[in-house]
Homo-oligomer: A and B are copies of this chain.
Amino acid sequence: MLTKRENDILKLIVEQYIKLAKPVSSNLICKRLKCSSATVRSEMKALEEIGLLEKTHTSSGRVPSEKGYRYYVDNLMEIKKMKAEDMLKLQRIFKNQELVLSDCISKSLQLISDMTSYTTVILGSSSHDNLLKKIEVIPIDEANMTVIVVTDKGHVEHKTISLEDVSQKEIEKTVSLINNLIIGTPIDEVSTKLEFEVKPIIGKYVDQHEQIYNAFYHVFSDFTENNHVNVVGKNKFLELPEFADINKIKEIYNKLDDKETLRRITEKRATETDDGDDSSHNIEIYIGEENQIDDDVTIIKTTYKTKTDEGTIAIIGPKRMEYDRVVNMLEFIKENIEK
């Protein structure tokens, strides 16, 4: 257990480093505490020995270690309410009756990215618990038609497909067969069901069944694959001194472009102790090596769940993130989404 003064010093160092991204000197600290720089220095040394602080070189000031950030987040951080003005802006988005929920979410995370200068990520509900509600085919011209698929929760997917030399009648027959046979099927089982239950029947009753079957099959598999991801404000990384190196940027951007990597954001960290969980509000914090994406970033995330939708929203920034602000913002957004 740390002494009161050690806590104070650590807190000051973390907060100062978050602000300026420069190693923090004993002098700067001693000005805010009523003691001499020498005293602070020996305390700092102690904190370094237990691994909460680090030096960049022998005679530099101190920088928080990952363990230091973790300790700060778990024990020292006081959650910081948003400026009234910012809160208002966010509320305005959610109060705007003209916006659909999904638009509210993306707009608000866009705003958060701007307010904080960090990158935000929305990982939409994979639609795995949606049930197939309806399919519909709209003819465009002789050879083309648009297939529309709707789920019970209101997700829509569509695709324009070409079928050559297939009669309108046959298509209609197929549509009504599908509508009869697999409505109500969970969307991620549709492909299988289509193959094993519908295909044999189409084969019997519909001419040119191969072509038609293929067309529909691909529309459905598209549906299952698309779990919408939205990364907002990637450019913010370009503002941060810790990412001033073009190669570091390349590394981060490649990760942020990779669906598989992003999906990993949704995973809970499997750790011994506390799951990165910020006790109170289901906000999870993954600092540096704690996250699965990149050792130089921190990810703060939460999940939301509404009647029609669920997903994960995350904020990605440097390890010296403004934890106190970001946690508060995420809490706020989560609340607003869920009501």
Contacts and interface: CB of A to CB of B under 8 A. Distances in A.
A214 interface: yes
Nearest to A243: B246
Contact of A257 (B100, B145, B214, B235): B235
A100 B161 contact: yes
A254 interface: yes
Interface size class of A (residues with CB under 8 A): 35 or more
Nearest to A211: B97
A21 interface: no
A192 to B, nearest CB: 18
Contact of A253 (B98, B144, B214, B238): B238
A97 B217 CA distance: 13
A146 B308 CA distance: 11
Contact of A152 (B140, B218, B235, B245): B140
Nearest to A139: B154
Interface of A: 97-98, 100-102, 133-134, 136, 138, 140-141, 144-146, 148, 150, 152-154, 156, 158-162, 214, 218, 234-235, 238-239, 244-246, 249-250, 253-254, 257, 307-308
8 contacts: A101-B160, A140-B154, A146-B156, A148-B148, A148-B150, A160-B308, A235-B254, A244-B246
